[in-house]
Structure 1
Amino acid sequence: MELPSINIIFKNKANTAIERGERGIVALVLKDAVPSTNPFVVKNENDIIDGLADANKEQIKLALIGGENPPKKVIVYVVPADAADFSTALNYLETVKFDYLAIPDVDKTDAIVTWIKQLRDDKDIKVKVVLPHTAADYEGVINFDTDNIAAFGKTYTTAKYCSRIAGLLAGTPLKMSATYSVLSEVEDVPHLTKDDGDKAVSEGKLIIINDGEKCKIGRAVNSLTTIDTNKGEDFKKILIVDKSDMWHDDVKRTVGDFYLGKYPNNYDNKILLISAIQAYNDQLVLEGLLDGSLADYNKVSIDISAQEDYLKSIGEDTGSMKEQQIKEANTKDKVFLMSNLKWTDAMEDFNINVII
């Protein structure tokens, strides 16, 4: 028998959602001499411990710059400089809360992509990673693809600027997109034509563009390019995935803290739980994170189809049961709920007609 699971698709609380979105958590894995305190947490530059190589201190400072706001904190895990892989760091990070990961010294990214997919899809841990030149075709991987970044009087490779991007994404509020976020420290990047920039975005690449005056993020997309009925066009947007992950984590945590194992699994208690989650959704509508203009969306209910499938699997004859009877049926320790969320996006595409 395994631990009880709360399997929520989209798989504290709504009135603090914006603040939490503004102050996400970055995880950094660095190669260096392993310090006596490892891992360690950095909230500002004064928290950076002595003994790290200057290049690694710089990586932490890059993450701390953030976006509209700085990240809440940076969790730093150091692996030996000669480590063959990052497995010890990844094993630790699986056990802590963070939003965006960067690994400046990453060489081969396949193992990191596999790990992120396992966390999100198999272990229900909704985290993201910023990786250089990695066409993962997956919403949890940000494919950062700009090289030769001139900033702070030097030139950075793509890998060495992933920490900056992770901090920027973690520090972008949930009412905003990172699209066109200005990186004021960046002096120049390779210039792309509009066609080249559009092609990069369509291929799931997050790029920095130079508009002739300043350097800024192109469209804030993740590496997902293949869409289907489960993951539509919206899943390509970093903002939408961030909101969905927030909803998942909040509901999962609240159910685990206040409901799991604490109440009899009967219809009345299921309705109480539905009402609690519905109140959360309603507050997100008031905060402007969910779209409240569509009456049929953002509703919470018993998942009739899943519940009926389960009843059949345990030998119940549902053929003659009415819908309400299926809703009220005894599902032992299983709870099947659903919610059809409609997130608000940020203003990114403008069509302005001028009549003279």
Structure 2
Amino acid sequence: MATGGSWDPTSLPIRPGLYINFVEAALAQITGGARGTVAMPLFEYGSAPAGKFTTIENEKQATDLLGTQHNDAVLRVLQGGAKEVLVYTVPTNADAEQQYIDMRDAFEARPFNVFVYPGEVSATEQDATLAWCQRNRDEGKHFMVVFGGSAADDQDPTIGNARSVRLADLYAVNLITGVVLSDGSELASAEYASYIAGLIAGTPINKSITYTDIPVVDVTKRLRNSEINTALISGSLVLVNDGRKVKVEQGIVTESDATKRGKIRTVRGRQAISTDIPATACDHYIGKVDNNPDGQAALISAIKVYLEQLEIENVLLAPTVKLDPERPSVKDNVFLVVSYVEVDSMERIFLTINV
């Protein structure tokens, strides 16, 4: 269904649908949040049937399907807070590259909010996965992708930062920190990315994951202040041990520069709006309402009510919805202009104390 994709004023889409362009202003990005489903392909799954999708909501379901030897990554997603994990047991294929292509094609027909691998994948497959995410975004399917690296990579933050730069995108998150669990075992960032994916999916849409406590005893490499600053500028997600606990330093995506760091909260809001408004249009407006002043007013009212609800929940401020004065809404085309101001979390507090 071709709803919710981008559109070009010089070449309008042919298929019926509601097409939204988000015009980013310099001082106001679209705010965000989270939904609840994490998609994960499994390449090792014991006696579970190959080539099947299964939705897992708790530890018992994970163990029943995968046994105790193969359920760790799924459990980390659930521990992170996701409502559910959409698992796909990837069939073995002699052509490894084709195996990944077929897997991504299979996921494309399923709804989810965050995609993550259960462990390390090659740089080639990371690049291909990001390109897949970007193409889906252009076609109206919105989800985030969480990446990580090997245990060796985690010991050198410059390697993780280079990965963040290579995978720079508003929909990508790159963890560069490995963790130490309570039993003393260690997980590389590529393995612990599954927990971060669950954390992103499970965080309410009016909250940030910045400074969220992480249930581990330490990180595999503690970064100096200068290294943390460099990582944030590079767009890396960093876990830090502050001497008392391990926490997320800042909930950012990989698309960053020295003056602006893209926020996970911001991007999730864009994804929610990009998904929810087209879904409402499909159910109640497309093909059902006349394109006349009354029908246009009904559509505008529905979108505004949706945005006003987000305003009540402290996701955004001052939403407006109106017909686009630059493009006539005639025949079967309706052009709307939507604007609002984001509500972000307090993340940097500056005090001037006069005594």
User: Normalised by the shorter chain, which TM-score bucket?
Assistant: 0.7 to 0.9
The answer on 1:218 being equivalent to 2:232 is no
- Hey, what's the Cα distance between the residues in 2 that align with 1:238 and 1:116? 15
- Hey, what's the Cα distance between the residues in 2 that align with 1:226 and 1:21? 22
User: Paired residue for 2:28?
Assistant: none
User: Paired residue for 1:335?
Assistant: 334
Residue in structure 1 matching 2:73, options 45, 59, 73:
59
Identity %: 30
For this pair of structures, how many residues does the alignment match? 311
TM-score (norm 1): 0.81
Displacement of 1:6: 1.7
- Hey, what's the Cα distance between the residues in 2 that align with 1:280 and 1:7? 17
The answer on 1:131 being equivalent to 2:161 is no
Displacement of 1:238: 0.4
User: Paired residue for 1:290?
Assistant: 316
Displacement of 1:61: 0.7
> Retained in 2: the 8 A contact 1:189–1:209?
no
Q: Which has the higher contact order (CA 8 A, sep 6+)?
A: 2
> Retained in 2: the 8 A contact 1:22–1:71?
no
> Retained in 1: the 8 A contact 2:37–2:201?
yes
Deviations 1:75-123 (A, max 9, x none): 01111456614222211221222111111242231110110010112x1
User: Paired residue for 1:201?
Assistant: 232
Alignment of 1:88-167 (within 5 A): 88-105=102-119, 106-108=121-123, 109-121=126-138, 123-132=139-148, 133=160, 134-135=163-164, 136-147=167-178, 149-153=179-183, 154-167=185-198
The answer on 1:35 being equivalent to 2:48 is yes
One-letter identity of the residue aligned with 2:147: L
Displacement of 1:201: 0.6
TM-score (norm 2): 0.81
- Hey, what's the Cα distance between the residues in 1 that align with 2:250 and 2:194? 18
- SS of residue in 1 equivalent to 2:205: coil
User: Paired residue for 1:269?
Assistant: 295
> Retained in 2: the 8 A contact 1:32–1:81?
no
Q: Do the aligned partners of residues 233 and 274 (structure 1) sit closer, same or farther apart at CA in structure 2, a change above 3 Å counting?
A: farther
- Hey, what's the Cα distance between the residues in 1 that align with 2:15 and 2:48? 35
- SS of residue in 1 equivalent to 2:70: helix
> Retained in 2: the 8 A contact 1:189–1:210?
no
- SS of residue in 2 equivalent to 1:32: coil
RMSD: 2.4
Structure 2: unaligned runs, 5 residues or longer: 1-12, 24-31, 149-159
Displacement of 1:185: 2.5
Q: Do the aligned partners of residues 166 and 215 (structure 1) sit closer, same or farther apart at CA in structure 2, a change above 3 Å counting?
A: same
> Retained in 2: the 8 A contact 1:151–1:187?
yes
The answer on 1:304 being equivalent to 2:325 is yes
User: Paired residue for 1:257?
Assistant: 283
Displacement of 1:52: 3.0
The answer on 1:5 being equivalent to 2:17 is yes
Alignment of 1:314-333 (within 5 A): 326=328, 331-333=330-332
One-letter identity of the residue aligned with 2:293: Y
Q: Do the aligned partners of residues 107 and 53 (structure 1) sit closer, same or farther apart at CA in structure 2, a change above 3 Å counting?
A: farther
Deviations 1:208-249 (A, max 9, x none): 11111111111110000269xxxx947x00001111211121
> Retained in 2: the 8 A contact 1:189–1:215?
no
> Retained in 2: the 8 A contact 1:189–1:208?
no
> Retained in 1: the 8 A contact 2:58–2:78?
yes
> Retained in 1: the 8 A contact 2:34–2:268?
no
User: Paired residue for 2:7?
Assistant: none
Deviations 1:12-45 (A, max 9, x none): xxxxxxxx95651111111125723721111110
- Answer with 1 or 2: which has the greater Rg: 1
Structure 1: unaligned runs, 5 residues or longer: 12-19, 293-297, 308-325
One-letter identity of the residue aligned with 1:151: L
- SS of residue in 1 equivalent to 2:213: coil
> Retained in 2: the 8 A contact 1:10–1:247?
no
- Hey, what's the Cα distance between the residues in 2 that align with 1:141 and 1:332? 38
- Hey, what's the Cα distance between the residues in 1 that align with 2:34 and 2:144? 16
Displacement of 1:351: 1.2
Q: Do the aligned partners of residues 104 and 81 (structure 1) sit closer, same or farther apart at CA in structure 2, a change above 3 Å counting?
A: farther
Q: Do the aligned partners of residues 179 and 55 (structure 1) sit closer, same or farther apart at CA in structure 2, a change above 3 Å counting?
A: farther
One-letter identity of the residue aligned with 1:261: G
